[in-house]
Amino acid sequence: MRRFFLIAVPYVWLLALFLVPFIIVLKISLSDAAIARPPYVPQFEWAEGIRAFFAELDFENFTWLIEDDLYWKAYLSSLQIALTSTLLTLIVGYPIAYGMARAPEEWRPTLMMLVILPFWTSFLIRVYAWKGILSNEGFLNQFLMWTGLVSEPLQILNTTTAVYIGIVYTYLPFMILPIYAALERMDDSLIEAAEDLGCSRLSAFWLVTIPLSKGGIIAGCFLVFIPAMGEFVIPSLLGGSDTLMIGKVLWEEFFSNRDWPVASAVAVILLLILVVPIVLFQRNQQKEQEGDA
C-alpha cells in the first residue's frame, strides 16, 4: 500500500500537470476557430452527448500546417537556429567549464557563483539589456567606432546574429554546469597516465578528457537545444522580421490572430519534434548514472 502510494505521487503529478493540459491543447488543435469565448468550437455540451462532440473534431488544422509553407519553414529554421546555437554554446562553454575544473580548488565555488549569478536578474531584463548593447547607437558599436575598427555602425540588432548572441548568452550556464560536473569528477592522474603512455598534451585531451566529459557534453547540448527550439522571447526582442522561429509563429497565432486551434496544432507538432531529443537526453542521463555505479 505504502509502495503503491509512493509510486502514485509522481504519476498523479505527471497526469495533472502534463497529460491533462496536453489533452486540452490536443483537443483545441482538433477544433475550429470561432468568434466566441473561448474562441473555438465545439464546446462540450452534455445535452448533445459525446458522440456528436467527437464528430465535430477533425485534422483540418494539421492539414493547414502542411499546406502553408510558413509553418514548416519556421520549424526548419528553428531547428537550424537551435542546432547552430547549441554548437556555438558548446564552443564557448567547454573552455569555460574546462578552465573552472582546472582552477585551484578554492576558486571554484566563486567561479561557479559567477556562472549562476545572471539568474538572479530577470531573464527579460537581461535580454532587453542586450538591445542596449547591440543597437546601432549601443555600447558595442560605440566601442567599435571608438577603436576605429568600423566607420559605420554594424547592424546587429534585429538580425539572426543577435538571436544567436541572445541564445548563447542565455543558455550558456546550462552548457557549462554539466560539462564542469563531468570534468571536475575526472582524476588528474588519468591525463598523466596518458602522457606517460606516449600522448602529447593535445592527444591526451582528445583521447581522455573529451571522451570522459562526453556525458556532460551531451547533457549540456540537450539542455540548450530543447528550450532554444521553442524560444520566442529572444527572437521577438532581438531578431528581425526575417528571423523565423516557430515559437514566435506560435505566439502570433495565439495572441495576434487569436486562432487558438492553429496555435495548438503548432504546439502539438513542436512537442512531438522535441519528444525525440528529450527521450535521448533521458537515456543519456540514465547511462551516466549506471556508469557511476
Partner 1 sequence: MGADLAIPVFEPWTDPQAKPLIQFQNVTKRFGDFTAIDDLTIDIFEREFFALLGPSGCGKTTMMRMLAGFEAPTEGKIFLAGQDIAPVPPNQRAVNMMFQSYALFPHLSVWENIAFGLKREGLPRNDINARVEEMLRLTRLEKFARRKPHQISGGQRQRVALARSLAKAPKLLLLDEPLGALDKKLREETQFELMDIQEKTGTTFVIVTHDQEEAMTVASRVAVMDNGKVMQVATPADIYEAPNSVYVADFIGDVNLIEGTVTATGEGVYALHWREGAAPLVVKSPNTISDGQIAHLAIRPEKVTISADKPESADNAVQGKVLDIAYLGNLSTYHVELPTGDVIKAQTANTRRISRRAYTWEDTVWLSWTATGGVLLGE
CB of 180 to partner 1, least distance (A): 18
Instruction: Indicate which single residue of 199, 226, 237, 271 sits in contact with partner 1 (rule: CB under 8 A).
Output: 199
Q: Is 78 exposed, middle or buried (0-12, 13-18, 19+ CB in 10 A)?
A: buried
Query: Phi and psi dihedrals of 230, rounded to 5?
Result: -100, 10
189 binds partner 1 (CB under 8 A): yes
CB of 13 to partner 1, least distance (A): 34
Contact 20, 13 (CB under 8 A): no
CB of 214 to partner 1, least distance (A): 8
291 binds partner 1 (CB under 8 A): yes
The C-alpha cell of 40 is what? Answer: 473555438
70 binds partner 1 (CB under 8 A): no
Cα distances from 63 to residues 60, 88, 266, 269, in angstroms, run: 5, 35, 11, 12
Q: Identity (one letter) of the amino acid at 92? A: V
The C-alpha cell of 132 is what? Answer: 542596449
Q: Give the C-alpha separation, 264 to 270, whole Å.
A: 10
80 binds partner 1 (CB under 8 A): no
Closer CB to partner 1, 148 or 198, in the complex: 198
Phi-psi region of 76 (alpha: psi -120 to 50; beta: other; left: phi over 0): alpha
181 binds partner 1 (CB under 8 A): no
Q: Identity (one letter) of the amino acid at 105? A: E
212 binds partner 1 (CB under 8 A): yes
CB of 189 to partner 1, least distance (A): 4
286 binds partner 1 (CB under 8 A): no
Closer CB to partner 1, 207 or 278, in the complex: 207
Closer CB to partner 1, 242 or 290, in the complex: 290
The residue ranges that bind partner 1 (CB under 8 A) are 187, 189-190, 192-200, 203, 207-208, 211-212, 214, 291
